[in-house]
Amino acid sequence: MMTILSARQPCWNDVEHTSLNLLVTFEETRDSLGEVPFTASPKDPEPHGRELFERAITLEYGDIAEPDQESLKNAVRMKSSGLSALASSMITKLQGDVNTLQDSVALGMATDAEVTQLPTTQAQLDLWRTYRVLLSRVETQPTFPRAIDWPPQPD
């Protein structure tokens, strides 16, 4: 665990207030690094990260500033990019599954289970494609970047 010597300038990372940034000086790195930017959250794997968050929300380090517009845009873009990558991965897998099922049907080799599975797999593929399209439109929402209506992720 790191020993917190000082912290200042707390600022939320998002409108949900799930994490915040501060400038922190730790005893262990004071001489080598000095004051460093640090992101703290209640779910931080390190005890000092959770402690910084708890102390900051009691306003021990001053009022917590709201994130600026550019920070919010970056946070939304990062989240959207991660979700889109997941969607693309699922689409690739499902497209491969659909192709194999279609091949088995086209070649007259399909089992009853494969014939039954084809429409279900195609429907799942369509759900993930729709999800990816909706993610690509997040920045066009009128409340972007302060409030995002995230599309529900397919099961």
**Residue 18 near residue 39 (C-beta atoms within 8 A):** no
**Residue 10 near residue 61 (C-beta atoms within 8 A):** yes
What is the per-residue pLDDT across 91-134, written as a single tens digit (0 to 9) for each? 999 999 999 999 999 999 999 999 999 999 999 999 999 999 99
Show the CA angle centred on residue 128, arms to residues 145 and 108, nearest 5°. Answer: 165
Give the span between the Cα atoms of 59 and 12, in whole angstroms.
12
Q: What is the pLDDT of residue 13?
A: 87
What is the per-residue pLDDT across 72-81, written as a single tens digit (0 to 9) for each? 898 899 999 9
Neighbours of 88 (CB within 10 A): 14
Residues 6+ apart with CB under 8 A from 4: 24, 25, 26, 27, 48, 51, 52, 55
The predicted model gives 139-144 an average pLDDT of: 95
As a 3-state breakdown, the chain gives helix, strand, coil percent values, each rounded to 5, of 50, 15, 35
What is the per-residue pLDDT across 18-54, written as a single tens digit (0 to 9) for each? 999 999 999 999 999 999 999 999 999 999 999 999 9
Q: What is the pLDDT of residue 14?
A: 85
